[in-house]
Every structure is written in C-alpha cells, then in structure tokens.
Amino acid sequence: MSQKLVCNCNGTMPLDAKALGVPVHRSLCRQEVGSFLKALDGSDALVVACTQEGALFSELAEQSEKPLVAPLRFVNIREVAGWTQEAKTSGPKIAALLALADAPEAEPVPVVNYESQGRLLIVGPGNQALPWAEKLNASLDVSVLCTEPGDLPLTRAYPIYSGVVTRLEGYLGNFSVDWELQNPIDPEMCTRCGACVEVCPENAIDLSFQIDLNKCKSHRSCVTACASIGAIAFDRADRKRNAEFDLILDLRVDPSMRMSQTPQGYFAPGKDPLEQALAINQLQEMVGEFEKPKYFVYNEKVCAHGRNGKVGCSSCIDVCSTGAIQSLFKNGQGSVEVNPNLCMGCGACATVCPSGAMRYNYPNVPHQGKELKTLATVFGAEAKKINLALAPSLLLHSLKAGTQMLDALGRSAHVMPKRFEGLPAFMLPYGIEHIASTGIDLWLAALSYGFAEVVLLLSGDEDPSYRAALESQANLANTILQAYGFDQRIRLILADSVEELGAVSQVMGQLRQRGALSPLCPPASFALSNQKRETLEAALEHLQKYAKTSLPETGFALPKPSLLGGLAINRDACTLCMSCVSSCPEGALLDNPDEPILSFIEKQCVQCGICTQTCPEQALALNPRLQTVEQRKQKVVLNETQAFHCISCGKPFGTTKMIDVMMAKLGAHSAFAGAAMDRLKMCGDCRVVDMVKKEL
C-alpha cells in the first residue's frame, strides 16, 4: 500500500477526510509542502492527488536526499470530481480513483529503437525552405529539395536540389526520398557563377538558377556558357534522384504523408509560421538514439488474413492510418507484417481484429481488466457505505487528448457552472494510450464487472477510419446487448476538436439529468485474457446468464462486419469437396476421414470469409448471428452424403454428387471418351493402372 496525500485545493473541493480514510490538506503545494517532504522520508510509495502541481512535486522529490523507493504517482481528483456540480456526492468516485493510482503498474513491454544523425531534408518552395535551411544548417546536417524556385545562396553551405517528389517513405533515422529533376539546370552541379544569367537573351534565368521554360526560346547560350561545368542539359536522360535522410520537414501545401499520425521524424506544419517554428524546435531535439514502446503483439497462427492464395480478413490493414501493416503471402498462406517503427500505437488493428491475432500490449487487456475491476469494486463498496444506489459508468478516453479535454471541462465547470457541466458523480474516467485501442471484448467485460455503461470520448484528433471502426464495433456490441434483452449501453461522444467543450458538456448534462443506470448483471469474477476470443466468450457467457430474453433457436442476427456468426450452406450445390476445410484458418470447419461429412463449430468461426471465396460451387455464405454459448460450442453437421466407391478396388474416394459433377464437366473431353469414361469412377491409383494397361 502507498501513502496518499490529498489536498482540497485551498478549500475549493468538499472532501470528507473521514470517508476517504486519509488526512485532507488545504495547501499541500504551498504552506503544507512540509507534509510532502516528510512523506518522501517514508518507506512507502507515494500517491499525490494533484496533477496541476506535478512538476513541482517531482522536482522536490528529485532534490530529496533519500531516493524514491517507487515512482511518484499523481491522480487527478479535482477536475473530474471535486470541481464538478456533484462534488459533494463524488466520494465513491474519488476513492475509486485513489485505489486505481495505488494499483500495480503494468508489466514493461519491449521497445523499438531509432537512431538519428540529424540528416534533415527540407522539402517545399524555395522561398520558404531556404530561409529555414540557413537557420538550421549550424545545428543539423541540412539538405533542401526546392519544389518551386527560390533565390539560392551564393555559398554552397549545404546541398540544394530541385524537382518533384515521386516517393517519400520511412521513419525517424530511415527516410528514403525519390524525386525527379525537371529543370535543365541541376542545382547539385551548379556553381552559381552567374554565367548563364548573363548570356540568356530572354532573361529566363534568375538567382534561383532555374530556367523559366515559358520564357526560354531554346537559344542554348546558357549551355555553351556552362560547358566547363556541365550543370545545364536540356536533353538530360537520367532525371531520377534518390537519397536517405533521418528527418523530414515538408513545407508543401500538399505534403506526402497526410495521415492523422505521421511517422516519427516527419513534420508537415503547413504555411503557418508559428507551426513551422514549433516543428523546427522539435527537429533540433531529434538527434541521437530514441526508443518507444512496441505497442502490439502479433500471433500469425490464428490470423485469418489469407489461405490458399485467397484474402480473407484484411481489417487491420484497412484501418491502419500509418501504413505500418502490409499483406504478406508465402506459399499461398497469408499473414500480415507490421513495421514497429511506423506503428504509432493507436491500437485500432487490435480493435477490429476478429481472431485476436493482433493484440494491443500497452498495456495488455488483462492489466486493464484488473484496473477496471478495481474501479468498479471500490466505487460500489464506497457507494454502499453512504447508502448511494449508484452503479458507475465507465468513461474511456485517450491519455493525452482526452485528459486535456476533461481537465479543461472540469475547470470550466468550476468557474462557469451555469454554462458548463462537469462529469457526473457516477462517471469514472479511465485513460488509455489511444481511444481506438479499445474494443468489444473490453466493453462487454466492463459491463460484466458491474459498470452500467461504457462511454467513449473521441476528442477530434482521431483518424476518420478509427471513428468508423469504433462506431461499427459499438453498433455490434449494442446489437449483442439487444439480443439478450438489454438496452444500449455503449455510446460514443464525438467532439470535433480538443477545444470543443460545448458538445461534451451538453452530453454530461444529459447524463447527469438522466442519473445513474442500473447494472446489467451482478459483477463477474472472471479475469480478462490476452486471447481476445476467450475474454469475449467469458463476457458473453456471463451476460447470457442474466439475459432478460432468450435467443432465438436460429440465433439473433448481427450487423456486418461481425466477429461472431455461422455459415449458411446450399446442400444441393455443395459437393463435399472439403476445399473449405483446408482453407479455414481457425479450424471451424471439419471433415471426417471415414465418410463424407462436413462439420462446423461456430465458436471457432471469425467470419473471415475465406471459405466462401474458396468454395468452387459458391455453396457457402457468412451468417453473422449470435447463438447461445452452448450452441456455439457444439459441432454440427453442415452437410453429409454417401461415399462413392472406386469401381475397381472398392475404396471410397469421393461423393456421388462430386463424381456426377465431374462426369458432367469432363465427360465430353477426348481423354475420357468411350470406355475411358469409367476412369472418372476410379480412385487415383486405379486410374493410373488402367491407363498403363490400355497403353500396353
């Protein structure tokens, strides 16, 4: 257990020391700072319920003679509880947040390394790129690619190129840029002597040392003047250029990388001088060795991307906005390859992955499950102590943008309570690395733990594909709840920007007026698993146990895309060739070695669709639905028929229907004319023997 220091911020928060079980300070960061210094001498870890003065407390801890026994932790109870309109009834929330701060930290994850030597390429119009190059040349290894002419400095202090970018890819320390030289003058070779400027009769060359081809009348006097240098060639064949860089400053109106989360080391600040200056400051700090977490874990064995040359699920590739995930086929087997240096940790790939092959790991779902259980358990126990019939709602938000928004909302609610609404007393905020990293398994598990609802706060900085994925997943989760007779308990709050507090405030006001909801079920005891399907199955089993309605015998229809569902089969079309069995990446489809029977286990199916693409008769179709847990575990027969026995040796080698189809398709072929037609009724071994006998 840690030692907790709680402050009511100069009496602006109505905190009950007795209910919280800890002393409440009034000015911990000022007159009572001695209490903090004294706590540093203790042997327990320290939790400070103040984030505003975190920098001050951290500095004091660093100056302390005694080293900290554990990392100093901070928790915000002011903006999300003590400064809200329901501050007096927020005791259970504050207790839960303090308990969460006291919970064990997540296990460390592997890291991804970068190395930058400061090789910077500035891309853009010369009149913007060159002035920045002059300023940065002393601190970075600068090169400039002018996409529009600009007056060149007469001293060759750094490389200057011109042309049009044809390819730009990579990440911090490993960018590769291709461009095509389009002007007759190559700035790499030009000495800027000015001879070409003097001899040009049309004044088509200025101090940019590029030829204005609209003015040029092809006198070629410039070529003659530059003969000894060779920088001018109107008939240049090789115009392609390539170079490697560590950093990119892209000043073009239409930059190469337009994704919401650009790779480390790439900056596209636009025309705004302030944004450009901020980018420059960051660039100057990006020289040396760096590391970041490896956010994901990939299990190729359960990936449903492709089999037998067919592409099934490509959800992770489609949703990734950074281009970090690529399709990879080898010997017909499909998997995906993730470049950890390009991955920016949004986690959307894990959210949309139906099989759990792609797993978010910063932190992992089991750790999040422990923290959610702590929040729900402590909140419920504290609410019961003061006879409050409240079930908590879970507010999920991105750590950086979401925290910034909630802090601003809390301050606004405190200063202007008639205009802005803070969080309701039953709303527990829970920050995650990125809002896109959370999905249906965690949401349904949270409801199973006793949360009354799950609210996702989107702050406006998310890629559109992330929003679409979360909306789709929320729709699926709510449909599952509807199947059990529950009302919708997953909702999204969509803000256009971090500064847009009005829309968020309005929703909070509506929730506060509505009041807390009742939980769907008694709290579950199961732990969350690293395997997405296991966590989901546990949550479904718990929710089904307390369902208000029974599922239809044929299952409850779910929207597409769904990670749950069965298969519809046209038995008349199916020849039981078993192509679908060999293509199924999850083992949901099964054959029988002794007789032609096609079986199916719905629990294993991830609705990837590879089987429907593989089936030569197009006899299969996906059927997204929710059946009972018991039904989904059973092995059911999709189709069966009598085996066809070889007319020569009697060995079963196919089905009657398959032989009939084969004879209909191949019967007219010359190889099977006349008596040779019987070969279609033979197994492979007997067919070869018969052909050899006939030839002899």
Identify the CATH number of the domain in which residue 570 sits. 3.30.70.3270
What pLDDT digit, counting tens, does each position of 434-459 carry? 999 999 999 999 999 999 999 999 99
Verify that 618 and 672 share a domain, yes or no. no
Q: Is there a single domain that holds both residue 564 and residue 531?
A: no
Higher pLDDT, 634 or 237: 634
* Residues 334/299/469/477 CA torsion (nearest 10 deg): 120
Same domain for 350 and 321, yes or no, is yes
Report pLDDT for 130: 96
Nearest residue to 459 (alpha-carbon basis) of 512, 414, 412, 395: 395
On whether the CB atoms of residues 455 and 406 are closer than 8 A, the answer is no
DSSP result, 288-348? EEEEEE--EEE-GGG--SEETTEE---HHHHH-SSS-EEEEEETTEEEEEE-TTT--S--H
Any idea what the Cα angle at residue 555 is, between residues 527 and 625, rounded to 5°? 70
Beta pairing, strands 3-7 & 24-25 = parallel
Average pLDDT, the chain: 93
Could you give the CA distance from residue 246 to residue 117 in angstroms, rounded to a whole number? 7
Q: What is the pLDDT of residues 180-232, one digit of tens each?
A: 999 999 999 999 999 999 999 999 999 999 999 999 988 899 999 999 999 99
Q: Which structure tokens are listed for 579?
A: 């192509």
Q: What is the pLDDT of residues 29-38, one digit of tens each?
A: 999 999 999 9
Quick one: 259 and 305 in the same domain?
no
| Residue 108, C-beta contacts closer than 8 angstroms, at least 6 positions apart | none
pLDDT tens string 496-521: 888 889 999 999 999 999 999 999 99
Provide the 3-class DSSP secondary structure of residue 185: strand
Return left, alpha or beta for 420; rule: phi > 0 is left, psi -120 to 50 is alpha, else beta. Answer: beta
pLDDT at 611 over 80: yes
* Domains identified in the chain, total number: 6
pLDDT value, residue 189 = 93
Pair 56, 85 in one domain: no
- Put simply, whether the predicted model's pTM sits higher than 0.75 gets the answer yes
Same domain, yes or no: 239 and 349:
no
Residue 639: pLDDT band (50, 70, 90) is very high
Two tokens at 95? Answer: 């207790």
Q: Are residues 186 and 261 in the same domain?
A: yes
Bridge partners of 640? 597
Confidence of residue 643 (pLDDT cuts 50, 70, 90): confident
Residues 18 and 82 in one domain: no
Which residues 6+ apart lie within 8 Å of 146 measured at CB?
Answer: 124, 125, 126, 129, 130, 160, 161, 162, 187, 208
- Rounded to 5 degrees, what are φ and ψ at 104? -60, 145
Together in a domain, 458 and 588 = no
Question: How many CB atoms within 10 Å of residue 635?
Answer: 12
Q: What is the structure's pLDDT at 245?
A: 98
How far, in Å, CA of 636 to CA of 553, rounded? 14
Q: Is 396 in a helix, a strand, or coil?
A: strand
C-alpha closest to that of 286 among 256, 266, 262: 266
- Which residues contact residue 111 at a Cβ distance below 8 angstroms, ignoring those fewer than 6 apart? 291, 292, 293, 294
What is the extent of the structural domain holding 347?
Answer: 294-360
User: How many Å apart are CA 320 and CA 349, to the nearest integer?
Assistant: 7
pLDDT exceeds cutoff 80 at 393: yes
696, pLDDT greater than 60: no
477 close to 378: Cβ distance less than 8 angstroms? no
Does residue 501 come out as left (phi exceeding 0), alpha (psi in the -120 to 50 range) or beta?
alpha
Residue 695 has pLDDT above 70, yes or no: no
Strand order in the sheet with 490-494: 427-432, 393-398, 453-458, 490-494
Query: For residue 336, what is the domain's CATH number?
Result: 3.30.70.20
- 588 and 627 assigned to the same domain: yes
Calpha distance 92→95 (Å, rounded): 5
Tokens of 58: 């951290």
Counted residue by residue, the chain has a size of 696
Q: Report phi then psi at 64, rounded to 5.
A: -65, 145
Treating both helix axes as pointing N-terminal to C-terminal, what angle do 399-415 and 501-514 enclose, rounded to 10 degrees? 70
pLDDT in tens, 252-295: 999 988 887 899 999 999 989 999 999 999 999 999 999 999 99
* Alpha helices per DSSP H over 484-624: 501-514, 532-545, 579-583, 610-614
Read off the pLDDT band of 685 (50, 70, 90): confident
d(CA 249, CA 140): 12
Does 137 lie in the same domain as 282? yes
Look at residue 670 in the predicted model and tell me its pLDDT: 67
Q: Of 74, 90, 122, which closes a domain? A: 74
C-alpha distance from residue 267 to each of 112, 120, 320, 434 (Å):
20, 11, 19, 21
Query: Does 595 have pLDDT greater than 70?
Result: yes
pLDDT given at position 481? 98
> Are 121 and 207 part of one and the same domain?
yes
Domain harbouring 149, CATH code: 3.50.50
Q: Which of 547, 564, 598 is the last residue of a domain?
A: 547
* The domain boundary residue, chosen from 334, 360, 386: 360
Interatomic CA distance for residues 36 and 300, integer angstroms = 50
Question: For position 544, what pLDDT does the model report?
Answer: 98
Residue 389 has pLDDT above 90, yes or no: no
Task: Please report, rounded to a whole number, the percentage of residues in the chain having pLDDT higher than 70.
Answer: 98
| pLDDT for the residue numbered 594 | 77
Residue 386 confidence class, pLDDT cut points 50, 70, 90: confident
Single-letter amino acid, residue 613: Q
Residue 499's pLDDT is what?
83
> 645-682, pLDDT tens digit by residue?
788 887 877 777 777 777 777 766 766 666 677 877 88
